[in-house]
Structure formats: C-alpha cells, structure tokens
C-alpha cells in the first residue's frame, strides 16, 4: 500500500506563538500594502490629471469607511516597517536566540501600536 506523504507543519493544531503569528502577519500586511499601492496610483494620477476626481477621493478618504481603510493601512504599514527592521537585523546574523526573537517580536507589536496611535493623533488633531 502506498502511504500518503507526511504533512508538516500541522498548522491547524499548532498553538499560535508570537513568532509564527508575526511571520504570517508580515505576509498579510505586505499583501494589504500591495493593494494599497492602488490608492497611491489613484492619488497621484488624479492630482496630476483629474482635479475633480482628486477632490472626490479626498472626500471619500475623510468619510468613516475611508478613514477605517486608512487606519488599516497605517497599522499594516507600521507593522511591516517594524517587522522589516527586525528582518534586516536578523540578516546581519544577530538576534536569533529564542528569548531575543520573542522580545523583538513584542517590540514590533508595541512599536506598531505606538506609531499608529501617534500618526492618528496627528491626523485627527489637525482636523
């Protein structure tokens, strides 16, 4: 009889850990930011060629759904940015011990929250 190939890792029975959760979040936020580049294109293109569209885009981004999208992208950006710095640090061959990986992981979470909160405090304070 032919045995099925072993499957690993069994994601569905793994206890989520800070390391694995941040790893997949890096990819998810990367994809979200990839989608967000469409807004960058729309923003610059409308500013250059369609002033009326620019104003409509601006108005939508100030509405609640628009703001929530921007909040999501802000958090995604700061996460990907902070965790990206963590990756660049690893690329120098440092920070690989388990306590260090856990500590830098939580630092990424805290930094993301602080930077997102600070940015939106600036945004809403300027209204």
Considering only residues 51 to 80 of the shown chain, the ones binding another protein according to CB under 8 A are: 51, 54-55, 58-59, 61, 77
The smaller minimum CB distance to another protein, of residues 71 and 85, is found at 85
Cα 63 to Cα 5: distance, rounded to the nearest angstrom? 52
Residues touching another protein: how many (CB under 8 A)?
A: 33
**For another protein, the closer CB: 45 or 106:** 45
DSSP classification of residue 64? H
Residue whose CB is less far from another protein, 42 or 109: 42
Collect all residues with Cβ–Cβ distance below 8 Å to 62 and sequence separation of at least 6: none
Query: Which of 18, 25, 32, 46 touches another protein (CB under 8 A)?
Result: 46
């Amino acid at each position: 009889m032919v045995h099925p190939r072993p499957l690993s890792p069994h994601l569905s029975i793994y206890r989520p850990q800070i390391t694995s959760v941040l790893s997949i979040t890096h990819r998810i936020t990367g994809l979200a930011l990839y989608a967000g580049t469409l807004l960058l294109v729309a923003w610059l293109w409308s500013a250059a060629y369609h002033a009326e569209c620019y104003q409509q885009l601006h108005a939508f981004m100030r509405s609640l759904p628009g703001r929530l999208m921007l909040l999501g992208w802000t958090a995604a950006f700061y996460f990907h940015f902070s965790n990206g710095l963590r990756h660049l640090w690893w690329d120098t061959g440092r920070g690989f011990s388990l306590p260090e990986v856990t500590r830098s992981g939580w630092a990424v979470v805290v930094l993301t929250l602080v930077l997102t909160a600070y940015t939106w405090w600036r945004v809403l304070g300027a209204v």
